[in-house]
Structures are given as structure tokens and as C-alpha cells.
Amino acid sequence: MAHKCFITFKTEDIYYKEYIRDEMEVDMIDKSLNEPIDSDNEDYIMRKIREDYLSESTVTICLIGTRSSENLGWEEQRYKKRELQASLFNGENNSKNGILGIVLPSMYDTIYTGSGICSTCGKSHSYVKINDSTIVKEFSYNYYIPNNKCAWSEEDRYCVLVKWIDFEKNPNDYINKAFEKRTSNIASKTKVRP
């Protein structure tokens, strides 16, 4: 089943957005927020993004490149943050989107940092660095939703994460995984503004 997708990206990563839009078999709404919405009202901004830019989409694809970090500051990330906030909002006439993070090749070594034995449970865990130095809080919080455990399983995460190379091989599988999160138990634990 094809899903309508909205892509949030940094200008530096437009090649990947265009490749998804033009080269892959994905049913997608391609509407990007290019101008700020003239308001200080958080709810109004989120509603306008949702109505004017994200309407009809069910999955938001978040491209994670070298300029996606929360640490770059509000001004640098305002579009990405607002688009993810609007994607996570669930209210009247708005349903929450599934969130799919695609790690671009320039970020593989920064995000996927190996594995090791956990001092709490004694099991091996993979280290995936999703935090303020790699992505905005709207993604990182909803990827690592607090769970009082030493690790996160797929059921413990709302956001789906994939390397570009794996997404390119079978994009619809990963889009479906993100879409299915909308009705999973973890969907009730997301935060719009972490």
C-alpha cells in the first residue's frame, strides 16, 4: 500500500529529497515549508503547518544529515522542529504521522557507533547516537522514549530509523513500519514539544 509522505530536510540534503521524490516508487506529497509562518502562537503555527503543508500525509520522512542537530540552535532548526511537531500532533482534524528517520551516509559513523556489553543487564547492545548532537529533540525524544530500561526495542520507539543504503533498497517497507507506529501502543507516549 502506498502512503503519502512529507519530507523534512535541510537544504544541504536536497539531493536525497529529490531522489526520493523523482527516482523512488513512493506516493508522496512534496510540500516543504520555505517561509516562516508569521506568528508567535505555537498552536497556530503547528495548525498551519499541518493544514497547509502536511495535510493528507500519514508519514513524515526526516532526513538526518550533518546539519540536523539540535545543537545548531532554534533559528537553524525552526522548520525541522515545527514540521516534526506538526507531524506528531494529534487533535481535531489532525492525525499523528508516523516518523521515519533516514540516516544519510555522511552520518553513519556519527550515529552508529558500535556495540558493547551492558553493565546493567549483561547483554550486548548496539550504540545508536540519536541525541542533541545528531538530530532535533522532536525526533530524539520520540526515538528514545523514557522507559526505565537499559535498552529500547522496536516496540519502545515511536520513530523508525534506517540507513539511507537500506531505505534505498526497499523504501516502502520502512514507510510501512513508520505508518504502523501510528496505531501501536507507543503512539500514546509521544511528545510534540519535548
7, 32 Cβ separation under 8 angstroms = yes
Residue 1: per-residue pLDDT = 66
Residue 194 domain-assigned (yes or no): no
Quick one: CA dihedral 147, 153, 159, 164, positive or negative? positive
d(CA 30, CA 49): 13
CB burial of residue 97 (10 Å; 0-12, 13-18, 19+):
buried
State the DSSP code for 177.
H
Residue 129: per-residue pLDDT = 97
Residue 34 domain-assigned (yes or no): yes
d(CA 40, CA 122): 48
Element (H, E) at 178: helix 171-181
How many domains does one find in the chain? Answer: 1
State which residues form the domain around 156: 5-189
Residue 40 domain-assigned (yes or no): yes
Residue 30 domain-assigned (yes or no): yes
d(CA 77, CA 74): 5
Q: Give me the average pLDDT of each 10-residue run along the chain (194 residues).
A: 86 93 82 76 80 85 96 87 91 85 98 93 93 97 94 95 96 95 96 94
Residue 21 domain-assigned (yes or no): yes
